[in-house]
Amino acid sequence: MWGAVCATLPDLDTFIPHGDAIRNMTFHRAESHSLFYLALASPLIAWLIARIHRGSVPFGRWWLLVFLALIFHPLLDLMTIYGTQLGLPFTDYPFGVGSIFIIDPLFSLPVMIGAIVALSWRSQRALRWSAVGMGLSALYLTWTFVAQQYVTSIVRDSLQAQRIDAQGVEVDPTAFNTVLWRVTVMTPQSYLEGYYSLLDNRRSIVFREHPRGTELNERLRGDWNVERMAWFTHGFFKMEQRGDRVFITDLRLGMEPNYGFTFWVFEERDGKFIPVHPQQTGSRPTTQPGVTWLWKRLLGEPLPPVQ
């Protein structure tokens, strides 16, 4: 139970208000996910726990438990695409491998089942269930990286065959699985979106082109919010104007045309763009059509993305 508490601590930064929606997004997984700061905090937290239990367990074992629980949190976050600043204070680079979706039952369930059995039976044999559960989850995490590299090789071949000038490529799993992968390709004037299922019959990807708002980006370059999003997304963002409002979107988290992290950042008045207090306006696809499309496309059916 103490391991569960410690593993949750880094995400308590979500309750810290940073002033606006973009700051809240880009300052999440920052200092609270730093390997250096977590290592410094682990002996203090272990000392407090040891004081509560009054020597029933040696301090060294508490320290090891707290250290591992804290450290593995950002290391697991690293495998998602969101961006984890685990190198602070030495670097604020938002690392993200992107081989696993932020929620994946196949990773979580073995650990949960093993922990529940160990807590319920409280025997050495029960502890083996916990070890087996962690082992299966570790194997699954390894599989996600191998699958991602396989799909990446197909993406490279497709880009070369179609003579696409790619400035950046992201290969990430779609929701709750590692069979269907979404590919985002940034080009000088647009971005491309494609999907590849490990059950597809052919080793090629059909891309659909979308505008990335290059002119807007050039005109508004230098604004803190624009530069912050460009840094946090590693360039995988778009800008668009709807009426008199200008929006900026993280292209890594969602699928066209629905993205979770879209922000209203400017308003046009008399031909001038006036900064506004950033507000999140992200959207999600309708649940039933989205799930139906995901399942059919996962099985290899060549469907266009759901709108």
pLDDT tens per residue, range 83-110? 999 999 999 999 999 999 999 999 999 9
Banded pLDDT at 205 (limits 50, 70, 90): very high
* Same domain (yes/no): 199, 269: yes
* Same domain (yes/no): 178, 87: no
pLDDT tens digits, one per residue of 276-296: 999 999 777 667 788 899 999
Q: What is the dihedral of CA 84, 88, 92, 95, to 10 degrees?
A: -30
List the one residue out of 81, 294, 96 whose CA is nearest residue 195: 294
Residue 123 reports pLDDT greater than 70: yes
Asked if residue 133 belongs to a domain, the reply is no
Asked if residue 72 belongs to a domain, the reply is yes
The helix or strand, by DSSP H or E, that contains position 272, with its residue range, turns out to be strand 272-280
Asked if residue 135 belongs to a domain, the reply is no
Domain count along the chain: 2
199 in Cβ contact with 299 (< 8 Å): yes
**Averaged pLDDT score across all residues of the chain:** 94
Asked if residue 104 belongs to a domain, the reply is no
For the chain, the C-alpha Rg in angstroms (whole number) is 22
* Same domain (yes/no): 81, 216: no
Distance, CA of 114 to CA of 6 (rounded, Å): 18
CB atoms within 10 A of CB 133: 21
Asked if residue 217 belongs to a domain, the reply is yes
- The residue range of the domain holding 262 is 149-298
Of 97, 116, 140, the position where a domain reaches its end is 97
* Same domain (yes/no): 77, 158: no
How much is the pLDDT for 28?
97
Cα of first residue to Cα of last residue in the chain, in angstroms, is: 43
* Same domain (yes/no): 171, 40: no
* Same domain (yes/no): 21, 84: yes
Banded pLDDT at 118 (limits 50, 70, 90): confident
* Same domain (yes/no): 68, 177: no
How much is the pLDDT for 304?
84
How much is the pLDDT for 287?
73
How much is the pLDDT for 44?
97
DSSP structure class, residue 304: P
* Same domain (yes/no): 69, 173: no
* DSSP notation for 113-127: HHHHHHHHH-SHHHH
pLDDT tens digits, one per residue of 32-69: 999 999 999 999 999 999 999 988 889 999 999 999 99
pLDDT tens digits, one per residue of 247-266: 999 999 999 888 999 999 99
* Same domain (yes/no): 160, 64: no
Asked if residue 85 belongs to a domain, the reply is yes
Of 80, 97, 114, the position where a domain reaches its end is 97
Asked if residue 136 belongs to a domain, the reply is no
The helix or strand, by DSSP H or E, that contains position 268, with its residue range, turns out to be strand 262-269
Residues 6+ positions from 153 with CB-CB distance below 8 Å: none
The backbone torsions φ and ψ at residue 90, rounded to the nearest 5 degrees and listed phi first, read -85, -30
Residue corresponding to tokens 């992201």: 170
β partners of residue 221: none
And the tokens for 244?
């008199």
Peptide bond preceding 110: is omega within 30 degrees of 0, i.e. cis?
A: no
Asked if residue 68 belongs to a domain, the reply is yes
Q: Calculate what percentage of the chain has a pLDDT beyond 90.
A: 83
Residues 6+ positions from 186 with CB-CB distance below 8 Å: 166, 167, 168, 169, 212, 235, 236
* Same domain (yes/no): 158, 283: yes
* Same domain (yes/no): 46, 178: no
* Same domain (yes/no): 176, 282: yes
Of 74, 97, 120, the position where a domain reaches its end is 97
